Chains A and B, each alone.
Chain A
Amino acid sequence: MTAYARRTWIVLWKDLLTERRSKESLNALLFFALLLLFLFEFALGPDRERLRAALPGLLWLGFVLSGLLGLGRSFIVERDNDCWDGLRLTPGDKSAIYLGKLLGNCAMMLAVEAVLLGLFGVFYDLALGPVLAPLVAVLVPGTLGLAAVATLFAAMTAHLRARELLFPVLLLPAQVPLLLAAVSATQAALLGQPLSEVSHWMKLLIGADVVYVVIGLLTFEFVLDA
């Protein structure tokens, strides 16, 4: 394993272990996801058809709101005990830290999404089995793009007093192309359409992922040192 891969792995290992032990983000996110479901249920009423039409948007709204809560905190742990400075002093390519953080955030978001998706299935009586494979094919790149931007902006805003305000203000506009593609592709997946019919959205989704991840990797060192 190269030094870069070892650094990426150790950051991922540290974040997952910290989260497993503290359960700070995951518990809050799962509770928040449950709360969202109740709110959607009350807001949209008993009309199942209406609910199903709105479902792709609701799903991604849930993912984005959970992401705002959870991903925005991903660098707070580095501020405690000045670990941020420790990371700055480590040798080598700092983008390994970003990559490790990104993978940790993706893992956390995918866990929350799996629970949220399961709850949507139960609450709204959806048969998710037949559409699960295409849905996962959309959710994984969608989550990667969401986490890529969120990880970078979380680092940028970690030291700001108004970070709770600035983080969504920065994140949401940057997510517009990704969300357009993800919601449209999710709709197709839920309707049982082959993803080839929405290949243009899938291309946009994957293209956005590549752009966001590359920007994160290239700029992280400057963000860390700023």
Chain B
Amino acid sequence: MIAAHGLSKWFARTPVLADVTLEVGAGQCVVLLGPNGAGKTTLLRIVATLARPSRGSLTVCGLDALKEPQAVRPMVGVVAHGSYVYEELTALENLRFWTVMADADASRARLLGALQRVELEMVATERVRTFSAGMKRRLALARVLLGRAKLLLLDEPFTGLDQRGRKWLSEFVLAFKAAGGTALVATHSFASGLAIADRVVILHDGRIVADRSADELSSDTLRRLYDGLTEAEGSTG
């Protein structure tokens, strides 16, 4: 689903990603961990075709994402910090807008069905500016459900969510994966990340410093591995 080889990215003269090689198979969920500034968001933005790498190659859903970003975009669902919602529109109006923009069926029944799946049907006609961060994230996920996304890219999805919200989101990602979807999730939350991950990748200073199967890791071993790698790298770097 994703094949990234030698991805590097510089902002001005500052390297943000350095020679990142990552392969994610269909139906897998890979969780990206790393301290702030490690390059997680940049990697997600490159995979989403929202940013171009300075060097390297990237294939998403079998397409060259650097040469054909337009063809890749309909197959990618992105839920980032901003959630892509308009505060003055209602939940239903937001979904209607993005569904028409995606040239998909924007019938009221379908939109309400998506809101039901993310448990927002009771606030369908309320303006988004009254929503909490968790509700906005659910609305963003409803938008993804209405599209044709095969690849879900989530940037810090657990931030600002309570326990129930985290559990709900984990179940959502697992259901997406069970339906054949692929997910790449950047997070700081070890436990929540581990609950949905098939693989855990640790980024530090723009480099992949660990790539492990989630089966090998418990929350404690992941914490020790993370601390060891990021502190050791940090002290030498």
* Assembled-state Cα–Cα distance A80/B87 (Å): 9
Q: Which of B83, B85, B103 contacts A91 (CB 8 A)?
A: B103
Check if A166 is an interface residue, CB within 8 A of chain B: no
For chains A and B in complex, what number of residue pairs have CB atoms within 8 angstroms?
73
* Assembled-state Cα–Cα distance A6/B105 (Å): 12
* Assembled-state Cα–Cα distance A88/B101 (Å): 11
The reply to whether A77 and B103 form a contact with Cβ atoms under 8 Å apart is no
Interface string of B50-85 (1 = CB under 8 A from A): 100000000000000000001001101010111111
B70 to chain A: closest residue by CB: A91
Q: Which of B74, B86, B103 contacts A18 (CB 8 A)?
A: B86
Which residues of chain A (52-96) have a CB below 8 Å from chain B? Answer: 77, 80-83, 85-92
Check if A172 is an interface residue, CB within 8 A of chain B: no
* Assembled-state Cα–Cα distance A225/B84 (Å): 16
**Chain B nearest CB, measured from A98 CB (Å):** 13
Q: Which of B28-36, B92-100, B225-233 contacts A (4 or more CB under 8 A)?
A: B92-100
Residues of chain B lying within 8 A (CB to CB) of residue A86: 78, 84, 98
The reply to whether A10 and B78 form a contact with Cβ atoms under 8 Å apart is no
Q: Which of B76, B87, B88, B101 contacts A10 (CB 8 A)?
A: B101
Interface string of B92-122 (1 = CB under 8 A from A): 0100111011110000000000000000000
Given known pairs A10-B97, A82-B81, A85-B50, the reply for A91 and B86 (CB within 8 Å) is no
The reply to whether A89 and B89 form a contact with Cβ atoms under 8 Å apart is no
The reply to whether A88 and B50 form a contact with Cβ atoms under 8 Å apart is yes
A4 to chain B: closest residue by CB: B103
B49 to chain A: closest residue by CB: A89
Chain A interface residue number, banded: 20 to 34
The reply to whether A89 and B83 form a contact with Cβ atoms under 8 Å apart is no
A3 to chain B: closest residue by CB: B103
Check if B20 is an interface residue, CB within 8 A of chain A: no
Residues of chain A lying within 8 A (CB to CB) of residue B73: 88-91
Check if B196 is an interface residue, CB within 8 A of chain A: no
The reply to whether B102 and A91 form a contact with Cβ atoms under 8 Å apart is yes
Check if B48 is an interface residue, CB within 8 A of chain A: yes
**Chain A nearest CB, measured from B167 CB (Å):** 25
* Assembled-state Cα–Cα distance A134/B185 (Å): 60
Interface string of A14-25 (1 = CB under 8 A from B): 100110011000
Of A3, A82, A83, A89, most buried by chain B (CB within 10 Å of CB) is A89
A7 to chain B: closest residue by CB: B101
Which residues of chain A (1-37) have a CB below 8 Å from chain B? Answer: 3, 6-7, 10-11, 13-14, 17-18, 21-22
Q: Which of B50, B93, B101 contacts A17 (CB 8 A)?
A: B93
Given known pairs A82-B81, A82-B84, A85-B78, the reply for A90 and B101 (CB within 8 Å) is yes
The reply to whether A90 and B102 form a contact with Cβ atoms under 8 Å apart is yes
**Chain A nearest CB, measured from B230 CB (Å):** 27
**Chain B nearest CB, measured from A3 CB (Å):** 5
Q: Which of A11, A14, A82, A92 contacts B80 (CB 8 A)?
A: A82
The reply to whether A21 and B81 form a contact with Cβ atoms under 8 Å apart is no
A86 to chain B: closest residue by CB: B84
Given known pairs A6-B103, A91-B74, the reply for A14 and B83 (CB within 8 Å) is no
**Chain A nearest CB, measured from B131 CB (Å):** 11
The reply to whether A10 and B100 form a contact with Cβ atoms under 8 Å apart is yes
Residues of chain B lying within 8 A (CB to CB) of residue A14: 86, 89, 93, 97
Binding site for A on B (CB under 8 A): 48-50, 70, 73-74, 76, 78, 80-89, 93, 96-98, 100-103, 127, 136
Binding site for B on A (CB under 8 A): 3, 6-7, 10-11, 13-14, 17-18, 21-22, 77, 80-83, 85-92
Q: Which 4 A-B pairs have the closest CB atoms?
A: A82-B82, A86-B84, A81-B82, A10-B100
